Structures are given as C-alpha cells and as structure tokens.
Structure 1
Amino acid sequence: MAEYIDREALMEFPIRANHCDKEHANTHFINGIESVMEYAEQLPTVDAEVVVRCKDCKHYDLGVCLKIYSNGNAHPEAWQPRRPEDFCSYGERKDGGERNG
C-alpha cells in the first residue's frame, strides 16, 4: 500500500539549512539535505482523502453499516455487512473528530 506524507510538515523538517545549528553543521550534509528537500517540493501531489474505518464510524454496529442503503433508518433488511477495517464515503467518526485512516 502506498504511503503519503504531508508536504508542509516535510518542509518544516528541523534539519533544513534555515533551521540547523550552523556552528556544528557539515556544509556538504546540509547542501545534500537541501537538494533532497528541493526535489521533494517538486514532486507531484495526489488527490487523497483520509478515511474513517468502519470500526471508528458512528454508523457501524455489530458488523453492519447502518447507513449504507438504509439512509440511516433502522431497516435491518438493508444493512450491509462490513468488516472493521472497511470504509465508505459515509464514514463519520464516533467521537465527531477528524477523519483518519
């Protein structure tokens, strides 16, 4: 599975030339880090959303999704079986927090 990083967080990495201990830093090392960071700034981005897994979703109960195909109403014949690691576009965290996968 692909892993993604937050580009803004990467750009704030403390070893950047403008954040490092210039008295003790090796110039060649810092130049190398800057080269890698400049490369990372140019990498293409992806259109990715953080998901809510069923196990963390307020619509998930006893192995079924109460939202899919039932519009949130209590129609047991419409409930769809789900595994805890599944996710869907209806995902809403139980605690009302941010989505995360």
Structure 2
Amino acid sequence: MVPGITFRSGAAISLDIAWVEFKVGVEYDGDHHRTDKVQWRRDNEKRERLRAHGWILIIVTAQNLIDEMSIAELALRIARRLAERGATIEFEVIAISLEELARKHGYRYDRRR
C-alpha cells in the first residue's frame, strides 16, 4: 500500500514494486490492462494520483522481460530513476563482445570496419 494516497473511492493504492522512500514504483501491465476498460481507467486514475504526489512510475510489459538484454535494460532504467531520487545502486557489469551485443539486437557485426 502507498501511504497517504488513495483512489477517489477511498480504496488504498498499491504498486507491484515500490520504493516508498524514493517515491519510485513499478507496475506490470499485462494485456488485460489495455483490453479491460475498468482496469484501464483504474490504472489511469492510480497513475495520475501517484504522479500528482511526486511519484515516478515505470510501466513494464512482457516485452521488457522477453530476454536477458531487455531485462538488463529495464533494471538499468529503474536504477537510473532511483539514483535520481538519491538511492545508492550497486550493480555488476558483465562483459559482452560487440559481436554478441549486435546479434542480440538483430544486427550484423563486421570486424573489418
């Protein structure tokens, strides 16, 4: 539950993941979040109310979790937003060749260039 913020109805607002002290939250949107009108409206109200109170919201979909590279990019995006709010982030850099990086993104890498 997010302290001090409720829906217009008075119901508590919760997030899938929240760093309350930094006002950063993550919400996973499955397909029903866009196909169910009631869910879509509820999500919009939640996001508007949280943003009005200074929250940063990161919306995640299945595409953000499709492979290791996408997950790493999401983790970096979340870490950046937390760092903007004063969080200390510890992470580990994993070496990857340019060839492998290009292949993961669907590009061809030519060493001769």
Please give the TM-score of this superposition, normalised by the length of structure 1. 0.24
Point out the structure with the larger helix share: 2
Which structure has the larger Rg?
1
Say which structure is richer in strand.
2
Q: Which has the higher contact order (CA 8 A, sep 6+)?
A: 1
| TM-score, reference length from structure 2 | 0.22
